[in-house]
Structure formats: structure tokens, C-alpha cells
Amino acid sequence: MLRRLLIQDFVLVDRLELDFRPGFGTLTGETGAGKSILLDALSLLLGERAEGGVVRAGREKADLVAEFDLAAGAEVTTWLQAQDLAADEDVLLVRRVVDVGGRSRAYINGMPVTATQLRELGEFLADIHGQHAHHALLKADAQRQMLDAQAGQTGLAREVATQYREWQSARQARLEAEKGVEALMHERELLQFQTKELVALDFVATDWETLNQEHARLANAATLLAGAGSALDIVSEGEVPLAGETSRLAARLEELASYDPAMGEIAELLSDAAIRLEEAAHALRRYQDHIDLDPARLSEIEQRIEAIVGAARKYRVQPEGLPELLLGQQARLAEISELVDPEALRVREEAAQRVYSARARQLSEGRLAAANALSAAVSEAMQDLAMAGGRFEVALLPEPEGTANGFERIEFQVAANPHQALRPMAKVASGGELSRIGLAIQVIASESQAVPTLIFDEVDVGIGGSVAEIVGRRLRELGRHRQVLCVTHLPQVAAQADWQWRVLKETENGVTLSRLDVLDEAGRVEEIARMLGGVNITETTRNHAAELLANRSG
């Protein structure tokens, strides 16, 4: 339930803090006073798109905060926990800040969130019926969505649409395969040949560097042997071996160290160098023992490299890319093997169709039950809305082949008068009749929804008199189980409310602002008298207003 709302620098509001009550409340006031501002603020807090024009003139930003009570075990609590946004208490805080540039920031329990998260949360908290909601009900999509929501099958309807797309995709694949089998067969033959060739090459990308290194060594074996022998002569085996001369020089300087210790340090360096030279000589001998002049292995390596380079040139890739090319060809070959087998595709298509049909039939069953219940409830409500003998029916028009929406089209049909045939609502109902029927549908649909707060924005336009009183009673009854807020111009509706607010527009020092008054019983008499009598309010009008309040239901 909505507990508190803070609005700051929003449209014509400088600062407004409201404490909401349970039950049925109304928001009244002169046309243009700003009654819809409150609902616009709530819509923004529940995820509606933000625009810079909502910021009050001369201010940098609008700041909106709402506090909601969370019922124990409610779905919204589960959602908050899943999003890691749960608070310690059963209180939910939602904030939206909009700057003059139209950029907005949103917060849930003090944590920044996306607009998508805000919209998802809003679906659990409140349901807002706008001024033209009944006109939306003339559209086939809106009628279908309402029925599915009434049946609690919105998720199933989305699943049916997904299954339908998968079925159609499988069907299209089968049709294309049947048309292009010859071309696919030719492609498969070519891929089989190429794949066989690459598999026979047996090439792994990591082998390429190793192969080139071995080739370089074998191709230059004679040069490497000559270089090793020349180095060995200089270091250890020549007429004046470098290692021996360095060792003797170190010994001579060591003798001189008795005259100057600095010579000892130099002698030590030369001694280390002599040791390193001897180690180098040993390494060169080992190298000579292991390197081979192997023309046969060199020829083998050269042929291997030539084969790899030739394949890479043929398929227009770098040598290292050949293994990846093989994987791609094998995957395409597997795909084609299925495509050139229409029977396998037909089996896949039939399986997808069976899944779709099963889910669509389940959807149809739920729709039928919900359609019967909604038809009976709205038809009953029409009798109280000055449409005696009228009927309403949710027709399920068969779509034998099936569509993304299931096996039927949904059509709201109406007979506004007795003995009149049922026809689509858009073609039968006059403006007044449409308002009454649309309001009945919205109220009845709201009764089955789980959201704790219901908001109606002038949805009672086009009705009056005793019908308006009946509508007010219905909303009051709805308020026994939900929190209901209704923006209205009708005194009969306002009189049925448990509580009432009045919106006023005032101009001070050239600045126009909207103000909201919480009305006590006396204030309600005056406001309802104004709604009844206009500018000149008489005692008779006040008495009538008091009588409406005294006679309200319950």
C-alpha cells in the first residue's frame, strides 16, 4: 500500500508531502487545478519515461519520493530479495530525480537502479488506469492482454509466442532444405573433400613454430658445426687457447696482490672468466656431438612446410589458421548433413509444433474460463449502469492454424440493448456506453489483480446521475480490499469515498502553484456542494451534499 508521497519542484508543485490512507479516496478540484500532477508523479516513480518539462520553472531538478508498506510474503518482497534491494523493515522507499535536461536517476531503498528495474517493481505496487484506458480496450492486443492477465496466464502467453517462433523457424528450415537440396549436396561434396584434405594434413597450429625452428637448424647444420669448431679452437684447443691464457694471467696478478690488494680483486675476476670459458668449451664439445647433418630429415621437414604453406595458400588463410578453418568446415558439414535430410527437419518441425500446440491448448483452456467469468461479471455490471438487458461477451474466435497469440483471437463484444445482436465493442458502443462498459471492465479486472494500490484517473468521464453513484459504490467496495484512489469530477463518486483531497491552483507574486487540502467532513460538504452547484453554492446545495455523504454505502 502507498503510505507517503513527497513531491518537490514538480510541474506546479513547489513542495508537497502527503500521507495516504487505506480504503477508497478521491482527488477533486476545478478543471486545470492540477489533479493529474499527483498521478503523473506516481507514474514517474513507477518507471514511466522522464522528461525535463516536469521540472518546475526556475528549478534545476524535480525530486519525487514514495514510501510503500510491504505485505508479509508479498511477491514484491521476493523480487526485492532477488535484486538484492530488500530493506531491513517492511517499508519500501522509491525515489526518482529528474533534471531540466530530462536525465533521471532512480533509487530503490537508497540503491541506484535502472529504469527497467523501476518498471518491474511498479508492476507489483500499483495499477494506474488513465483517462483514455477505455479507448485502449478497443484494440485487439489490449483485449487479449487483459484477458490473459485476468486468467493469470501472461507468462504462458509469452511462452506460447516463443514456441510459435521456434516452430516457424523449424518449418522455414525444412522448406528451404526441400528447395535447395541440390545446391546443398554440391556444397557438402566440396566440404567433404576439403575436410578430408585438411584432416590428412594433420596440422596443429602450435607445431608451426617448432617446425620452422627445426628447419632452420637442419638447413644451417654445416654452418653451425663450423662455427662451433672455430669457437672451440679460440677458447680451448688452438695454439694459444683463450681459457688457458686467462687462467695464467689470473695467477700472475694473484702474485702481484701481495704488493697491492687491488690486484687481488682483478685476479679474482679473471679467474671467474677462465672458469666460464672452460664451461663454454665443454658446452661447444657437447653441441658438436649432438648436431647432425641429416639431409633426409631436412627434406622431410621441407616437404611438410611446403604442404602446409600450399594448403594455406589454397584456402587463403595463414598457416596458423588452418586448424580453425577445419573446425568451421566440419561444423558446416554437420549442418548441411541435417539440411539435406528433409525428413530429419520434418521430425524437428513436428516436435516444435507439438510443444507449441500443447502450450497453446493450455492457454486456450485458461482463456475460456476467464472469458466466461469476465463476460458474466461485466454483463451483470451493465444492468446497474443504465444498460438494462445489455450483454458483454469475450469471444474466442478460432485460429485453427495457430498464431503467435495462440489458437484464437480475442474480441470484446457488446449488445447495449435487449434483443440486439452481439457485435465488436468498437462498432457498437456510443461514447457514453463505452465509458460505462470500459469502467466496468477495468474495475472488475482490478478486483482479480494482486497489486495493492489501484488508481483511476477520470475514468468516470461520460457518466452521471444514478450511474455515477453506482460507480462510486463499486469503487468503495473495491476499497475494502485494496487501496483505491480516483481523480473525479463527479460528486456522486466523491461522496462514496472514505477520504477526500481537494487540489487548488493559486497565484502569488506572479507564481502559479498547485496546493492540496486534506478535507474533513465539513470540507467535504463544501467541496461536494461546489461540484454539485458550481459558483453559487446555496444551503440547498450544501444539504444535498451532506445527504450524499450521509447516504454513502457502509
Read off the pLDDT of residues 230-262 as tens digits, 9 standing for 90 and up. 887 788 777 778 877 888 888 888 888 888 888
Judged against a pLDDT cut of 80, whether residue 512 lies above it is answered with no
Residue spans of the domains in the chain: they are: 2-131+458-550, 186-338
pLDDT-based confidence at residue 398 (cuts at 50, 70, 90): very high
Judged against a pLDDT cut of 90, whether residue 366 lies above it is answered with yes
Encode pLDDT of 56-93 as tens digits: 888 889 999 999 888 655 678 888 888 888 877 778 89
Question: What residues have CB less than 8 Å from 272, skipping those under 6 apart?
Answer: none
Task: Name the class of domain 2-131+458-550.
Answer: alpha beta
Encode pLDDT of 464-474 as tens digits: 777 788 888 88
| Greater model confidence, 289 or 329 | 329
pTM of the predicted model as reported, rounded to 2 decimal places: 0.59
CA angle 114, 115, 117 (to 5 degrees): 65
CB atoms within 10 A of CB 347: 13
Q: Output the pLDDT for position 73.
A: 54
pLDDT-based confidence at residue 293 (cuts at 50, 70, 90): low
3-state secondary structure string across 313-331: HHHCCCHHHHHHHHHHHHH
> What's the whole-number mean pLDDT along residues 27-54?
81
Each residue of 144-174: b (16+ CB within 10 Å) or e?
Answer: bbbbbbbbebeebbebbbebbebbbebbebb
Taking the CA of residue 528 as centre, how many other CA atoms within 13 Å lie in the half-sphere pointing to its CB? 28
Can you tell me which residue has the cell 594433420?
A: 202
Reduced DSSP (H G I as helix, E B as strand, rest coil) percent helix, strand, coil of the chain, to 5: 60, 20, 25
- What DSSP character marks residue 66? E
How much is the CA Rg of the chain, to the nearest whole Å? 43
> What's the whole-number mean pLDDT along residues 359-386?
90
Closest to 107 (Cα-Cα) out of 97, 98, 99: 97
How far is the CA of 351 from the CAs of 171, 290, 407, in angstroms?
11, 66, 18
Encode pLDDT of 86-110 as tens digits: 877 778 899 999 888 888 899 998 8
- Given a contact cutoff of 8 angstroms between Cβ atoms, the answer to whether 402 and 164 are in contact is yes
Q: Residue type for 168, please?
A: Q
pLDDT-based confidence at residue 459 (cuts at 50, 70, 90): low
Highest mean predicted confidence (pLDDT) among 183-187, 265-269, 335-339, 353-357: 353-357
On average, the pLDDT of the chain sits at 83
Closest to 292 (Cα-Cα) out of 357, 222, 386: 222
Four-point Cα dihedral 459, 463, 468, 472, nearest 10: -10
